């Protein structure tokens, strides 16, 4: 059993620190980076007309293996992850094959 979660960290360094602190390597982690909050606009030849704007937050997706699952059904996440969890209304820019975020 797996749980798909999305996170935003204050910096790449903060995300790297949290990722490196995970001792259980059964989880799948994708570093998405600083995603566009506003996409760039290009003409038909691919020339940039308007530069895009990137988020100031560093995005990470995690497919947690439910080895973190407690007997009562709750999941205990490693330190520093719960407060960085975000909620989206769709899958966003990334999903894990066979798993939907929503």
For CA atoms 28, 34, 39, 45, the dihedral sign is: negative
Which two structure tokens, joined as six digits, stand for 32?
């998405």
Q: Which pLDDT does position 42 carry in this prediction?
A: 96
Averaged over 12-17, what is the pLDDT?
97
Round the average pLDDT of the chain to a whole number and report it.
Answer: 90
Residue with tokens 């990470």: 60
pLDDT band at 102 (very low <50, low <70, confident <90, very high): low
Q: What is the pLDDT of residues 16-62, one digit of tens each?
A: 999 999 887 889 999 999 999 999 999 999 999 999 999 999 999 99
Residue with tokens 């999305």: 6
């Amino acid at each position: 059993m797996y749980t798909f979660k999305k996170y935003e960290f204050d910096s790449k360094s903060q995300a790297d620190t949290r990722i490196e602190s995970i001792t259980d390597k059964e989880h799948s982690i994708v570093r998405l980076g600083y995603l566009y909050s506003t996409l760039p606009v290009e003409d038909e030849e691919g020339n940039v007309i308007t530069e895009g704007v990137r988020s100031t937050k560093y995005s990470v997706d995690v497919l947690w293996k439910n080895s973190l699952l407690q007997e009562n059904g709750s999941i205990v996440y490693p330190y520093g992850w719960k407060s960085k969890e975000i909620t989206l209304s769709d899958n966003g820019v990334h999903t894990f094959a066979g798993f939907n975020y929503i």
